[in-house]
A and B are shown apart, each in its own frame.
Chain A
């Protein structure tokens, strides 16, 4: 340990300043296991003051740092930096305030996403953003990467539910943004901070708004003979004026994987399934469900299953939520992308993805948030075969370029992170990227906060073999 790092180590008891080989290996990767880099040291903070002191030390010594919650980022967003510090935030996990009358919660960044809803449940409230990893991912990471979930079309993403922040900027300055009112005045700094991928600093306290729990769900699983038919059904629902809370599609390969993994009993022989979920007060659902079934009956479904109760609803969702880890049964390795396309062009895009996959000789399973055009192609490969990873990456790149070419986005909810940074300048023009870079420098003049993410051109750690994340293999987390 050199002299300067001893001054950082002196701020922590020995068991919370980790610089041994075992710890460095434990923190070398996140949900995107393709990238691995060992940090210089890990500090396990237990208070906001410790975060601030660490950031100030890093600023003073020009040492890069990466904030990390549960390490579930699918874009390599919490990948450590070589010779940098990992600031592990899991122990900053207090819900500081939960006000049922004002319908807000103020939480520390290490609070697990689903804990907010659990805490709010006794007041009939919940926290809406529901990334698939919600049982383990943290609010701090959700804020940094503006996480989504299955309900974004109706309710929005993380940034639509964060109304205030206290953060330490990369230079050690502590700032507050927004507040406890959902409305503010002046430029929306809270909105800018959300989704900044940790490049501005670290959130210390996050104020989120809570929504009333829907009284009733009406969840329907519909099987179709083709993906096109499922896509057409989504268009018919959208054009009818209904606004379902969720509209999800899985293709045959994804169904096969889910079936093998969790025996979800989806309609046999279906080339695609659609999950539609209405939610709201019972009187409104009674009206809307009639409308929905009139529409669905005209879409030539192979089969329909309506969840009669909460258990059946969970059973329908189980297949969907498990789809990604289930794909691990079909292939030793896979890449997942989360590009977005205009919803009306979903059918055309899926045909093109199929053609690209065929040309590449690679199997692709598709699961997507159909309501908002958010694709999740799962590109299957075997990392042990020389060149297979590179070919899978080439296919992933073609899919992302396809999204850009038709006016979509390279990421709907996973963020750019390490994984897609070479595409930032393909999606945005030079003046826009230059402005983003100026904004980053305004907050972090030494570029020490989560460097190497979002922006192209910085040094990349080497790719290594893939494989399921250990937690994913254990069924604890899943990719969405």
Chain B
């Protein structure tokens, strides 16, 4: 086995690559390097299998080959005033559709309408025994058969090589407006997140930058109603509210996982969390200048940047001690998981059913 990368130009070549190699890992454009760094596997790039194969805006569905870049997809949708509401990540970096499904990463927009799992309708993939599987459907509503497309969200290429994906898409709101709210403390910020998330305002995104103690709120809808609702928020929360238009760069920098104070991170980690867990995690790690975090999706996801190996070890140790698991997105890591691990009792059963010959690597263990 080697670390070579094969780049099939056709589905037949992809099938040959899977059948002809002992252990393969499907990859896209490697925008999340820590997820494709398994040693001793043959990487198979889906990058050449690209293109939108079906898009009828009035059906709210789009089908594209897995190697299609998210930037192409986002652009095609924007031309018809549509979008993927979950804020696809690393679009400018070159992320592909297949990689977006396999990593399951969603940005701040996940808050309002759901994440990758909530917008994937159908998936075609090559199984380890060289079969083409067509799971799910191409219509916006479907309850037939097991929901294998959802299973593949976050599966990191360990259950099959995704070749084509059908997504649900939505009409793009006419305008967005962002409110940056200064908070006195993390506790006040969390109270405001809770209040905002169940408020009448129907916010599009609710994030929190702990270093600056700033809450980011995004409104999406007709410009006039955004302005009126923003006025109501300001009158509720006082003068510490700055209002920005769609050009505000905070959201796009976050979508590209850029951190102002750590420009060369040792690791970037996704940590599913809750507001309470966040507070505990931040109390433990927040004083370290080599660790930076951002709380997204109204307190449900923490993005963590570490500057050094020491800082990474500190994060890993804390997560393991508190039975939390994070996904390493970037950094030259041998393990995609950090903390207590993602070994699940159902994993081996499902892995064996999906990939009986073990053509795809298992998850790297906790580290």
Q: Bound complex: CA of A429 vs CA of B159, how far in Å?
A: 19
Q: Contact: A156 with B118, CB < 8 Å?
A: yes
Within residues 401 to 430 of chain A, which ones have a CB less than 8 A from any CB in chain B? 407-416, 420, 424, 427-429
Scan A303-336; emit 1 where CB is below 8 A from any B CB, else 0.
0000000000000000000000000000000000
CB distance from B221 to the nearest CB of A (A): 5
B313 at the interface (CB under 8 A from A): no
**Chain B interface bracket (under 10, 10 to 19, 20 to 34, 35 or more):** 35 or more
Q: Contact: B197 with A212, CB < 8 Å?
A: yes
Residues in chain B near residue A160, CB distance under 8 A: 114, 117-118
Stretch at the interface among B14-22, B45-53, B295-303, B304-312: B295-303
Stretch at the interface among B90-98, B210-218, B252-260, B272-280: B272-280
Q: Contact: A146 with B134, CB < 8 Å?
A: no
B334 at the interface (CB under 8 A from A): no
Q: Contact: A443 with B349, CB < 8 Å?
A: yes
Scan A334-350; emit 1 where CB is below 8 A from any B CB, else 0.
00000011111000000
Residues in chain B near residue A194, CB distance under 8 A: 147, 150
Closest 10 CB pairs of A and B: A191-B150, A215-B200, A283-B225, A101-B194, A287-B222, A442-B349, A187-B155, A442-B353, A181-B272, A241-B171
Q: Contact: A159 with B150, CB < 8 Å?
A: yes
A175 at the interface (CB under 8 A from B): yes
Residues in chain A near residue B326, CB distance under 8 A: 185
Within residues 223 to 245 of chain A, which ones have a CB less than 8 A from any CB in chain B? 235, 238-239, 241-243
Q: Contact: A287 with B200, CB < 8 Å?
A: no
Residues in chain A near residue B143, CB distance under 8 A: 145-146, 148, 157, 195, 409, 411-416
Q: Contact: B346 with A431, CB < 8 Å?
A: no
Scan A184-211; emit 1 where CB is below 8 A from any B CB, else 0.
1111110110111000000000000010
Stretch at the interface among B64-72, B125-133, B242-250: B125-133
A394 at the interface (CB under 8 A from B): no
Q: Contact: B225 with A287, CB < 8 Å?
A: yes
Q: Contact: B229 with A283, CB < 8 Å?
A: yes
Q: Contact: A340 with B142, CB < 8 Å?
A: yes
A159-B150, A186-B155 are known contacts. Are A439 and B350 too (CB-CB below 8 A)?
Answer: yes
**Residue in chain A with minimal CB distance to B54:** A407
Q: Is the interface of B mostly helix, strand, loop or mixed?
A: mixed
Q: Bound complex: CA of A374 vs CA of B142, how far in Å?
A: 9
Within residues 93 to 119 of chain B, which ones have a CB less than 8 A from any CB in chain A? 104, 106, 110, 113-115, 117-118
B321 at the interface (CB under 8 A from A): no
Which residue from B133, B137, B145, B232 sits with its C-beta under 8 Å from A431? B133
Q: Bound complex: CA of A185 vs CA of B153, how far in Å?
A: 9
Within residues 421 to 472 of chain A, which ones have a CB less than 8 A from any CB in chain B? 424, 427-429, 431-436, 438-443, 454
Q: Contact: B142 with A431, CB < 8 Å?
A: no
Q: Contact: A412 with B154, CB < 8 Å?
A: no
A181-B301, A182-B297, A189-B350 are known contacts. Are A343 and B146 too (CB-CB below 8 A)?
Answer: no
Which residue from A159, A235, A411 sits with its C-beta under 8 Å from B147? A159
Q: Contact: A187 with B349, CB < 8 Å?
A: no
Q: Bound complex: CA of A341 vs CA of B199, how far in Å?
A: 36
A387 at the interface (CB under 8 A from B): no
**Residue in chain A with minimal CB distance to B296:** A183
B237 at the interface (CB under 8 A from A): no
Residues in chain B near residue A408, CB distance under 8 A: 137, 139
A184-B272, A439-B353 are known contacts. Are A212 and B106 too (CB-CB below 8 A)?
Answer: no
A301 at the interface (CB under 8 A from B): no
Residues in chain A near residue B155, CB distance under 8 A: 186-188
**Chain A interface bracket (under 10, 10 to 19, 20 to 34, 35 or more):** 35 or more
Supply 23 A–B pairs (Cβ within 8 Å), ascending by A: A103-B197, A146-B147, A182-B114, A182-B115, A183-B272, A185-B342, A188-B117, A188-B150, A189-B350, A191-B117, A243-B171, A280-B202, A282-B200, A283-B225, A284-B225, A284-B229, A287-B221, A372-B141, A411-B142, A431-B131, A433-B145, A435-B131, A439-B148
A189-B344, A212-B202 are known contacts. Are A183 and B110 too (CB-CB below 8 A)?
Answer: yes
**Residue in chain B with minimal CB distance to A428:** B145
Which residue from A212, A438, A441 sits with its C-beta under 8 Å from B199? A212
Extra pairs beyond A436-B145, A439-B146 (6, CB < 8 Å): A186-B347, A189-B346, A192-B151, A372-B141, A424-B144, A439-B353
Q: Bound complex: CA of A420 vs CA of B81, how far in Å?
A: 38
A160-B118, A284-B202 are known contacts. Are A187 and B154 too (CB-CB below 8 A)?
Answer: yes
A153-B141, A284-B225, A373-B140 are known contacts. Are A343 and B59 too (CB-CB below 8 A)?
Answer: yes
Q: Bound complex: CA of A215 vs CA of B202, how far in Å?
A: 9
A383 at the interface (CB under 8 A from B): no
Q: Contact: B141 with A188, CB < 8 Å?
A: no
Q: Contact: A173 with B345, CB < 8 Å?
A: yes
B363 at the interface (CB under 8 A from A): yes
B76 at the interface (CB under 8 A from A): no
B354 at the interface (CB under 8 A from A): yes
**Residue in chain A with minimal CB distance to B277:** A181
Interface of A with B (CB < 8 Å)? 100-103, 123-125, 145-146, 148, 152-157, 159-160, 169, 173, 175, 177, 179-189, 191-192, 194-196, 210, 212, 214-215, 235, 238-239, 241-243, 280-284, 286-288, 340-344, 369, 372-374, 407-416, 420, 424, 427-429, 431-436, 438-443, 454
Which residue from B137, B172, B229, B344 sits with its C-beta under 8 Å from A241? B172
Q: Contact: A177 with B144, CB < 8 Å?
A: no
**Residue in chain A with minimal CB distance to B230:** A283
Q: Bound complex: CA of A419 vs CA of B353, how far in Å?
A: 26
CB distance from B354 to the nearest CB of A (A): 7
Q: Bound complex: CA of A243 vs CA of B272, how far in Å?
A: 29
A159-B147, A412-B142, A439-B146 are known contacts. Are A183 and B199 too (CB-CB below 8 A)?
Answer: no
Residues in chain A near residue B153, CB distance under 8 A: 187-188, 191
CB distance from B299 to the nearest CB of A (A): 7
Which residue from B141, B297, B346 sits with its C-beta under 8 Å from A369? B141
A436-B145, A436-B148 are known contacts. Are A409 and B198 too (CB-CB below 8 A)?
Answer: no
Q: Contact: A175 with B144, CB < 8 Å?
A: no
B55 at the interface (CB under 8 A from A): no
Residues in chain B near residue A415, CB distance under 8 A: 143-144
Q: Bound complex: CA of A181 vs CA of B134, how far in Å?
A: 30
Within residues 18 to 44 of chain B, which ones have a CB less than 8 A from any CB in chain A? none
Q: Contact: A435 with B151, CB < 8 Å?
A: no
Q: Contact: A182 with B146, CB < 8 Å?
A: no
Q: Bound complex: CA of A178 vs CA of B142, how far in Å?
A: 22
Q: Contact: B225 with A281, CB < 8 Å?
A: yes
Q: Contact: B141 with A340, CB < 8 Å?
A: yes
Residues in chain B near residue A123, CB distance under 8 A: 198
**Residue in chain B with minimal CB distance to A433:** B145
Within residues 214 to 243 of chain B, which ones have a CB less than 8 A from any CB in chain A? 221-222, 224-225, 228-229, 232
CB distance from A453 to the nearest CB of B (A): 12
Residues in chain A near residue B151, CB distance under 8 A: 187-189, 191-192
A153-B141, A188-B104, A409-B137 are known contacts. Are A344 and B58 too (CB-CB below 8 A)?
Answer: yes
A191-B151, A287-B221, A287-B224 are known contacts. Are A183 and B115 too (CB-CB below 8 A)?
Answer: yes
Q: Bound complex: CA of A398 vs CA of B300, how far in Å?
A: 46
Residues in chain B near residue A159, CB distance under 8 A: 147, 150
Which residue from A156, A214, A341, A427 sits with its C-beta under 8 Å from B144? A427
**Residue in chain A with minimal CB distance to B172:** A241
Q: Contact: A416 with B158, CB < 8 Å?
A: no
**Residue in chain B with minimal CB distance to A286:** B225
Which residue from A145, A175, A238, A286 sits with its C-beta under 8 Å from B345? A175
Q: Bound complex: CA of A342 vs CA of B152, how far in Å?
A: 24
CB distance from A439 to the nearest CB of B (A): 5
Residues in chain A near residue B325, CB distance under 8 A: 185
Which residue from A212, A284, A435 sits with its C-beta under 8 Å from B148? A435
